[in-house]
Structure 1
């Protein structure tokens, strides 16, 4: 049976608009059906049923023809899948928003969490950003001006706190060698440099008494630096006043700065990460996303055990760094700067890799995709054609069909086309009788009998013939005028022809 061309919806709906925003932890929980906590994928039984509350739970949808979805009860063709969520034991940076997080930290005070501008400048920028009709590029330019102004200010106008320069911590400069995503705030003391260093070392007095090496490490660096953990950043972002959020070029109705930090993760439906039964060995081949989620849950459990058992800070930090890396690789598996010790053995495909590039969802499946009733070949000149004609090879004309309804005027012609069948041009490939949902392929069966049974209202998918209007396009399509309608002229050669 040929595949269906489209599926009608139950209710006619018109999309009014699409808005994009940052997903909050609360909305993730609201749209999810289950809380995923189990790290194992299958039960230890003969049927290998997915474990309850695992990443392959049948309530997340189905990818099997035999078993329906346990949430909506529909089969594999009708169930679109359902989301779950994972609660992270410790917050981590979202790799996609990492630059935005650093940009916000450069804008706000590290003590009172307000934007580093005086009230007069704030009100001016608020008025400019309050215009809903501003284009993205204009907003970006205004935001850049705000960041540049805030970078020049070292002292907060509100609480008089000394702010330093915020940047990404590169490997080897005081980093623990674990995590890829780390933020450091360096305070350049200037005239007060000695006092700042003295105050900084005094904070570690009790620690220096037990371990004198700490003092050497503190005095070795010229700058007083502070590493911002995701917990520190989350606490700062939660304290940003609502009136200052528009100055970060964020819409308070759609997103909040605290949502840029991962505290909860969505588990996508099973239908977008199906398990494939292996022919070579017993069991299944799992999708990269499924395995990455399973590892995240495993690390979550390890950190939870460290919390309960009171493990050392190094073990705790190691688990946190690994959780940060796994969540980053889940989103973008081509992350640069990953330490060799933490590099995964087999490179997988993250969410970014599924969307970007030629084989991604946008270019590969949405903009350009494999479709029926289209063909391509080399184009050649033909001075014998008219300006509105295009030469179509006979080989193409037998495959590209046109559905024509049987009426009084054409019933005899349609009967002849059905008798000719799919191999003789002009002929027909399929017949769909009125009221029937199935098509009859004319390569097999008694074509003379089908021709005699042809009634008014039946649909005949006939071959392309001279004079049919077709859309013709030359690659590369640089603008809409590349695609034009032409009248087909069938010929026996193998290329498309045009004047």
Structure 2
């Protein structure tokens, strides 16, 4: 049978799909305020953290309420009754007194407002064009990038329409203004000549004409506009009414994450606890809600309530979970990737064109510290005796000997090495120094693809740097301006074989 020139990549997957009911796709949507409430266990309303008692118990309906889980070993979650290691945590929610913009969806809100009428909320396209675009959008086979381009086309077309085809209202430019604010320049397209009568009657009008056409849309107005978008227009915004309505882009309710995500740490220095930054932000949001309610009831000035609202907006744009995970200071790169392990070394790298591409020059200083547990057998017993005689300080030597059947190791820096060497027998384990042609793993961070860690053969050399052939710089993305690299010594025959066959440079 001749060799196949081409084989479809997902034929096995299709075959499985035929036999099994397996997941065909996953779709992501927006979390509506109703869903937030359904997923939550409590409504957080209390602005204090602890009761004024000796045990410092968390206040009920506060952001540290034990119904959302626990962050202490000695207390259990009151929702599921499990301890710290078993309870997965439960969400709560905070109702915002006034809606605010979601910092992550702010750009999307502006894009929608540029597409719809700022009076009747219809998409600013004549009925014939609307019908044409809708047919294209609803095509299930359209690829993602084509969909994106289509959305841009609809937006660009809508931007050019100044009079709404449905309610005849004026529509102007929508743009970002300052910090998390949106401005609508409603009469920007209207010629100054059209205001000439007003200017003649009242000359002071001319100086304020430029600013008079601009109106700042607050989150409440934007929410009302998004709520009134007809269902048949939602697909033109490339949204699906089932997985998220446009009004869900505005925050009216805030989920409160479980306690295990934002633990309280009991302070040793002073009496009390150190609270997580998310906990403190949520407390401030509850406090601001309270302030807004009091100002409304006492009939405070609109200006004062607007200031409270701006402050609430600022607090709700808090640093989320994604910011804790991503980037150089995040959990993955900052706390997990940089772990140090046994049988590894790290030093500066330099080039050596005399080495083969599968070799790495290892300083003799490192070779004396990194060891490999070699089992003694008839073939290597003489070599092992010689290495034991050399001991810790002479390379090639050995650092420890483990006698078969015992768990304890003999350190070769002290004691009678000649006697230990003579008593060596097959089955004993000698922890010998790293030697020429040993299989080692060589790695440069950041490890971005699988070629960032490959296996080389060691070549023990003088001096203090790892050396390798310049031809191997590309996969590691290495240069010799002070870069450092890691070297790991596999500890079993199986690991050595895997490294050589699966990860070999050549």
TM-score scaled by structure 2?
0.68
Unmatched segments (≥5 aa) in structure 1: 1-13, 171-179, 199-214, 332-349, 432-438, 444-455
Q: In structure 2, what is the equivalent of residue 220 of structure 1?
A: 208
Mapped pair 1:153 → 2:161: yes
1:78-121 per-position Cα deviation (integer Å, ceiling 9, x unaligned):
44432211111111111222121111111001222111112332
Residue of 133, 141, 149 corresponding to 1:141 = 149
Q: In structure 1, what is the equivalent of residue 180 of structure 2?
A: 181
3-state SS, counterpart of residue 347 of structure 2: coil
Q: Following the alignment from structure 2 to structure 1, what is the Cα–Cα distance between the partners of residues 102 and 108?
A: 10
3-state SS, counterpart of residue 104 of structure 2: helix
3-state SS, counterpart of residue 41 of structure 2: strand
Alignment of 1:62-461 (within 5 A): 62-131=70-139, 136-170=144-178, 180-188=179-187, 190=190, 220-222=208-210, 223-328=212-317, 330-331=318-319, 353-361=323-331, 363-364=333-334, 368-370=337-339, 372=341, 375-381=345-351, 386-392=356-362
Q: In structure 2, what is the equivalent of residue 38 of structure 1?
A: 46
Contact 1:91 1:263 in 2 (8 A): yes
1:220-273 per-position Cα deviation (integer Å, ceiling 9, x unaligned):
334434332212111111121222222223243432211110001111222232
Mapped pair 1:481 → 2:451: yes
1:442-488 per-position Cα deviation (integer Å, ceiling 9, x unaligned):
99xxxxxxxxxxxx9xx999987766544323456675434322244
Change in 2 beyond 3 A, CA 1:353/1:187: same
Change in 2 beyond 3 A, CA 1:442/1:101: farther
Contact 1:429 1:463 in 2 (8 A): no
3-state SS, counterpart of residue 91 of structure 1: strand
Contact 1:421 1:442 in 2 (8 A): no
Q: Following the alignment from structure 1 to structure 2, what is the Cα–Cα distance between the partners of residues 53 and 93?
A: 25
Change in 2 beyond 3 A, CA 1:65/1:384: farther
Change in 2 beyond 3 A, CA 1:124/1:254: same
Measured after TM superposition, the shift of residue 426 of structure 1 is 7.8
Say which is worse superposed, 35-44 or 76-85, in terms of deviation. 76-85
Q: Highest CA radius of gyration, 1 or 2?
A: 2
3-state SS, counterpart of residue 105 of structure 2: helix
Q: Following the alignment from structure 1 to structure 2, what is the Cα–Cα distance between the partners of residues 24 and 302?
A: 25
Change in 2 beyond 3 A, CA 1:357/1:383: closer
Say which is worse superposed, 370-379 or 26-35, in terms of deviation. 370-379
Change in 2 beyond 3 A, CA 1:70/1:384: farther
Change in 2 beyond 3 A, CA 1:379/1:168: closer
TM-score scaled by structure 1?
0.69
Q: In structure 1, what is the equivalent of residue 466 of structure 2?
A: 496
Contact 1:426 1:465 in 2 (8 A): no
Q: Following the alignment from structure 1 to structure 2, what is the Cα–Cα distance between the partners of residues 490 and 152?
A: 71
Q: In structure 2, what is the equivalent of residue 346 of structure 1?
A: none
Mapped pair 1:471 → 2:441: yes
Change in 2 beyond 3 A, CA 1:90/1:190: same
Contact 2:398 2:430 in 1 (8 A): no
Q: In structure 1, what is the equivalent of residue 67 of structure 2?
A: 59
Say which is worse superposed, 110-119 or 308-317, in terms of deviation. 308-317
Q: Following the alignment from structure 1 to structure 2, what is the Cα–Cα distance between the partners of residues 137 and 484?
A: 36
Contact 1:33 1:60 in 2 (8 A): yes
Q: Following the alignment from structure 1 to structure 2, what is the Cα–Cα distance between the partners of residues 44 and 378?
A: 57
3-state SS, counterpart of residue 377 of structure 1: strand
1:328-371 per-position Cα deviation (integer Å, ceiling 9, x unaligned):
2x24xxxxxxxxxxxxxxxxxx65642443112454457x4436
Q: Following the alignment from structure 1 to structure 2, what is the Cα–Cα distance between the partners of residues 137 and 61?
A: 42
Q: Following the alignment from structure 2 to structure 1, what is the Cα–Cα distance between the partners of residues 29 and 311?
A: 28
